[in-house]
Amino acid sequence: MGRESERLEKWPFARECPVLPPGAYAERRSRCPISQVELWDGSSAWLLTRYADIRAALRDARFSSDSSVPRFPAPNEAIAAARRVQRGFVRLDGEDHNRQRRLLAPYFTVNHVQSLRPLVEEKVNALLDAMETHGGPVDLVECLAEPLPVFLTCALLGLSSDDSPYLLDRVKTWMSADSKAEDATKAANDIIDFFRRVIEIEAANPTGGMVAELIRQHVMEGDISQEELLWMLHLLLVGGFDTAANMISLGTVTLLNHPHELAQMTADPSRVTKVVEELLRFHSVAHFTAGRLAKEDLIVGDQAIHAGEGIVAPLPAANFDPAAFPDPERFNPDRNARTHLAFGFGIHQCLGQPVARLELSIVFAQLFKRFPTLRLAVPESDLAYNNSMIYGLRRLPITW
pLDDT tens string 2-29: 444 458 999 999 999 999 999 999 999 9
**Which phi and psi angles does 295 have, rounded to 5°?**
-90, -15
Start-to-end Cα distance in the chain: 53
Instruction: Report the chain (400 residues): mean pLDDT per 10 consecutive residues.
Output: 63 95 97 96 97 97 92 90 82 91 93 95 98 97 96 90 91 88 91 93 86 91 92 90 94 98 97 98 92 97 96 97 98 97 95 96 97 98 92 97
The dihedral formed by the CA atoms of 96, 79, 164 and 256, expressed in degrees to the nearest 10: -110
DSSP category for residue 397 = E
* Alpha-carbon span 355 to 148, nearest angstrom: 11
What is the CATH architecture assignment of 23-399? Orthogonal Bundle (1.10)
What is residue 5's predicted lDDT score, i.e. its pLDDT?
41
Q: In this structure, which amino acid lies at residue 188? A: A
Q: In this structure, which amino acid lies at residue 64? A: S
Strands 44-48 and 310-312, bridge-based pairing: parallel
| CA-to-CA dists, residue 231 to 9, 88, 212, 294, 355, angstroms | 35, 5, 15, 24, 20
Q: In this structure, which amino acid lies at residue 173? A: T
Using omega within 30 degrees of 0 as the cis cutoff, is the peptide bond preceding 12 cis? yes
The closest alpha carbon to 230, from 349, 86, 80, belongs to 86
| CA-to-CA dists, residue 290 to 73, 115, 219, 257, 364, angstroms | 9, 31, 30, 29, 27
* Tens digits of residue pLDDT in 204-241: 888 878 888 999 899 989 999 999 999 999 999 988 88
Listed by start position, the domains of the chain span 23-399
342: left (phi over 0), alpha (psi -120 to 50) or beta: alpha
277: left (phi over 0), alpha (psi -120 to 50) or beta: alpha
* Alpha-carbon span 20 to 297, nearest angstrom: 34
With 0.75 as the threshold, say if the pTM is over it: yes
What is residue 83's predicted lDDT score, i.e. its pLDDT?
81
Burial of 146 (0-12, 13-18, 19+ CB in 10 A): buried
What is residue 6's predicted lDDT score, i.e. its pLDDT?
56
| CA-to-CA dists, residue 6 to 2, 14, 38, 181, 198, angstroms | 12, 19, 12, 31, 53
Asked whether 285 and 392 are in contact (CB, 8 A), the reply is yes
* Tens digits of residue pLDDT in 117-166: 999 999 999 999 999 999 999 999 999 999 999 999 999 998 888 899 99
The closest alpha carbon to 343, from 318, 312, 311, 310, belongs to 318
What is residue 160's predicted lDDT score, i.e. its pLDDT?
86
- Report the Cα 215 to chain-centroid distance in Å: 27
**Which phi and psi angles does 6 have, rounded to 5°?**
-75, 165
What is residue 192's predicted lDDT score, i.e. its pLDDT?
93
